[in-house]
Structure 1
Amino acid sequence: MSQDHTDYRDIFLNDRPMMDTRAPIEFAKGAFPGVLNLPLMTDQERQRVGTCYKQQGQQAAIVLGHQLVSGEVKAQRVQAWADFAKAHPDGLLYCFRGGMRSQIAQQWLKDAGIDYPRVGGGYKAMRTFLLETIEQALQQCDFVLLGGMTGTGKTEVLGQLEHAVDLEGHANHRGSSFGRRATGQPSNIDFENRLAVDLLKKRDRGLQSFVLEDENRMIGSCALPLSLHQGMQGFPMVWLEDSLESRVQRILGDYVVNLSAEFVELHGEQGFAQFAERLLESLNRIHKRLGGERHQRLFLLMEAALAEQARSGDVELHRAWIEGLLGEYYDPMYAFQRESKGARIEFIGDHAAVLDYLRNRPPQSR
């Protein structure tokens, strides 16, 4: 029988195909990029086996498990595993700790004539490896933050740097109160795993210095690892500047034109109504911070802009609430942040200057 595979570095650097034999409820809480969930047991079956284990012990639980997954049910699951193994001869299977579930799956595949390797230590060992990958990068690498007012195009700059780590990309969120995408966010575990794999691959290419966007602890519903967030309170900063006109145009593109298109692509005819609801809801989320009068004024501007967009497709009216929100809310907040972080800012410039600086900035010794 195949040896257990414990070279976790190889698994993630080479995107080894994997099938996860844990129950769907476990998989939903967190898994690894590109992994397929082909469970040994459904959530209900796993629950029954767990209850039996508590009440009658391990042997009775094993017997019940084999009763629940037998006959046609077993044949269908083995067939799904066999199809995966044949499609991915370089792949692996795993369960939570590399214990009984993956052993059973491996044995049943063996009985079907397929010798397929599993991951020693399972999900838990791989997850531990990825968390350690983040910690090692924080201890061994150089980090610099990219800051700037809302709409200056920080994400665009990151996209042009090979040593950037796009936290918002991994979280599938644009970072602000308006930052939710039409597609949902990953679980927090998935977010951390994506971040770790990104760092692992970049370090394997020889990169030891990374640029991150200056973020809050929460990017939507995804929380930055605590050690990373704490580190970011001391990392040096580069500040990106752009004109108000360019910023309004960029926000109009990202948060109105592109986001409404995302919703329409995902939800068809209902997409625009869902987009409009999301936009108004995002404004309502900062109601208290805006204050009643300002919120009401911006809300009416947004409603009028959405009505015109629905009627004619014209998005120009959106500029009014965007300018109001920047001038009266985001800019004063960011100006305060810039002042409080002033001692850490080592360079200020426009897109071209910041890109040039970050591409040529020598790594700082840790």
Structure 2
Amino acid sequence: MFRDLTIDELLAVQAKGPHTFIDVRSPKEFNEATIPGSINIPVFNDEERAEIGTLYKQVGQEVAKDRGLEIFSQKLPDFIRAFKQIDTPMTVFCWRGGMRSKTAATVLDLMGIHTTRLAGGVRTFRQWVVHELEQEDFSPTFIVLNGYTGSGKTALLKMLADKGFPVLDFENLAGHRGSIFGQIGLEPSNQKKFDSLLVRELARLKQEPYVFIEGESRRIGKVSMPSFLFNKKETGVQLSVHLPVEERVKNILADYEPDKYPELFQEAFQIIKKRLHTPIAKQIEDDLAIGDFASVIKLLLENYYDSRYEHSGNQHTEIEYVHITANNLDDAFQQLLGVVERLELNK
């Protein structure tokens, strides 16, 4: 017989070694929010879940259960086969630790496949995430990378991480680059997914003396950074990266790859078009039409993004910045390493 685990027991099991979490809810539910690192082996797909839900509301529980059993019995061989591919201890869960995870765990047990089940399901996990963030417990100092759009801040974070430095990439967790064009080519997170990923990252980094982050606004795409982390960012060590506009254009082209999503860039531009002088907006539209994205980006930097960044900076004139003025991204990274060394020597 399978055993139910509390959230604390589940975290303890996870810490001991490889462990696979299996979300047996529908793909749509899984994509909206799940336990980070989980895989999806659904009892019902999205259409089947909708059908059963309709029967439950309009006809009754017993009819819905009978239809659910009929659907699940037909896919049972494939369901079992998917679990047989997993070679680690495993835990199944659904939304509330209800019928779907109980059915999955029971059938697996009958087939000789051992699994545990998360009591309370994703709802319990979400409550735990909210509680963890409410503790506002994160002691490392933030070293904050600031700079105009295209200054390579995200690339610098990746280069730091590759060198083994502690990095917290809010944009990666949010699935958004923090601009009007920020979600193009990415899969934006909702708040639940962002919070779950964030809690995992905070736990990973909590023993570090400092952590590198990017100078984000509190809202990143569809999600918001917790207030205590935003305030911590505001009082962290502030670095400001300066690159020539030509280098910034190159960085944006490499990061956003606008030639892959020309229609999406045209759609996004319509959101800010009215904020630009008419001749500039017309030139950008013409350049978008012929695919001259380098010109588009340069015009947007010079006529929109740079002025917005300067306005934001003027609101924080009391902040002292360590300035890094570089020729390109590699030069900026080497200077950044020098700044880190000096900061550590002064500790």
Relative to the length of structure 2, the TM-score reads 0.81
- Report the counterpart of residue 306 of structure 2 in structure 1: 331
Please say if residues 20 and 94 of structure 1, whose CA atoms lie closer than 8 Å, have aligned partners that are also in contact.
yes
User: What is the deviation of 1:90?
Assistant: 1.3
Work out the percentage of aligned pairs sharing the same amino acid: 25
Q: Distance in 2 between matches of 1:360 and 1:11?
A: 41
Q: Rate the CA distance shift 1:285–1:119 in 2: closer, same or farther, 3 A.
A: same
Please say if residues 4 and 120 of structure 1, whose CA atoms lie closer than 8 Å, have aligned partners that are also in contact.
yes
Q: Rate the CA distance shift 1:86–1:2 in 2: closer, same or farther, 3 A.
A: farther
Q: Distance in 2 between matches of 1:364 and 1:234?
A: 18
Query: In the alignment, is residue 20 of structure 1 matched against residue 23 of structure 2?
Result: yes
User: What is the deviation of 1:34?
Assistant: 3.6
Partner AA of 1:218 in structure 2: R
Please give the residue correspondences for 1:224-263 in structure 2 after superposition, counting only pairs within 5 Å.
224-255=225-256, 258-260=257-259, 263=260
Task: Specify every segment of 5 or more residues in structure 2 that has no aligned partner in the other structure, as ranges.
Answer: 326-331
Please say if residues 91 and 116 of structure 2, whose CA atoms lie closer than 8 Å, have aligned partners that are also in contact.
yes
Q: CA offsets, 1:310-354, max 9 Å, x none?
A: xxxxxxx54333322222222222122223223233422142333
Please give the residue correspondences for 1:153-302 in structure 2 after superposition, counting only pairs within 5 Å.
153-161=152-160, 162-203=165-206, 206-255=207-256, 258-260=257-259, 263=260, 275-302=261-288
- Report the counterpart of residue 357 of structure 1 in structure 2: 339
Relative to the length of structure 1, the TM-score reads 0.77
Which SS does the other structure have where 1:19 is aligned? strand
Partner AA of 2:41 in structure 1: L
User: What is the deviation of 1:134?
Assistant: 4.1
Q: Distance in 1 between matches of 2:132 and 2:14?
A: 11
Q: Distance in 2 between matches of 1:363 and 1:76?
A: 62
Aligned length, in residue pairs: 330
Task: Specify every segment of 5 or more residues in structure 1 that has no aligned partner in the other structure, as ranges.
Answer: 264-274, 307-316
Q: Distance in 1 between matches of 2:295 and 2:26?
A: 50
User: What is the deviation of 1:166?
Assistant: 1.1
User: What is the deviation of 1:165?
Assistant: 0.9
Q: Rate the CA distance shift 1:329–1:277 in 2: closer, same or farther, 3 A.
A: same
User: What is the deviation of 1:154?
Assistant: 0.4
Q: Distance in 2 between matches of 1:246 and 1:32?
A: 39
Q: Distance in 1 between matches of 2:204 and 2:18?
A: 10
- Report the counterpart of residue 67 of structure 1 in structure 2: 66
Which SS does the other structure have where 1:212 is aligned? strand
Higher mean C-alpha deviation, range 116-125 or range 133-142 = 133-142
Please say if residues 89 and 115 of structure 2, whose CA atoms lie closer than 8 Å, have aligned partners that are also in contact.
no
Q: Rate the CA distance shift 1:76–1:21 in 2: closer, same or farther, 3 A.
A: same
- Report the counterpart of residue 311 of structure 1 in structure 2: none
Which SS does the other structure have where 2:229 is aligned? helix
Q: CA offsets, 1:127-153, max 9 Å, x none?
A: 233334445465433323221111111
Q: Rate the CA distance shift 1:239–1:107 in 2: closer, same or farther, 3 A.
A: same
Q: CA offsets, 1:185-229, max 9 Å, x none?
A: 2333222222222222333xx424222211223323333345434
RMSD: 3.2
Which SS does the other structure have where 2:25 is aligned? coil
Partner AA of 1:330 in structure 2: Y
